[in-house]
Amino acid sequence: MFNLKREPTHPGEILKKDFMEPLGLSQTILAKEVNTSFRTINEIINHKRNISPEMAIKLSRYFRTSPEVWLNLQNQYDLYRVKENKKDTLESIKPYIELHKAVNY
């Protein structure tokens, strides 16, 4: 895993800017087309909801992408947020090899 210097873009932002806006899709239309609620689409776009595997499949079917595109975007975002929010906890964890290198087997 590489270390990103900036926070990855939330998949909701990509959904809005790279897919919906160029196609002139409203949240209401997209929600109907992928058989979900307006609230779900709105929360994804406003970074209040993650892309679930089910939603990744729906979006991939509708926009002719792969589900992995959506899941990878979500994973990159989530991993970055955890690394940033849990720095102290993560830094206190010592790798196994460092803890056990003096032990002879």
Residue 28 host element (H or E) = helix 27-33
Residue where the block lists tokens 């690394």: 83
Sign of the CA dihedral with 47 first, then 48, 53, and 59 last: negative
pLDDT digits (tens, 9 = 90+) for 73-84: 999 999 999 988
For the chain, the domain total comes to 1
| Joined tokens for residue 64 | 């002719």
CA distances (Å), origin 37, targets 18, 28, 96: 21, 8, 46
pLDDT digits (tens, 9 = 90+) for 12-33: 999 999 999 999 999 999 999 9
pTM of the complete model: 0.81
Residue 5 covered by a domain? no
* CATH number of the domain enclosing 88: 1.10.260.40
Residue 15 covered by a domain? yes
**Residue range(s) defining the domain that contains residue 72:** 11-100
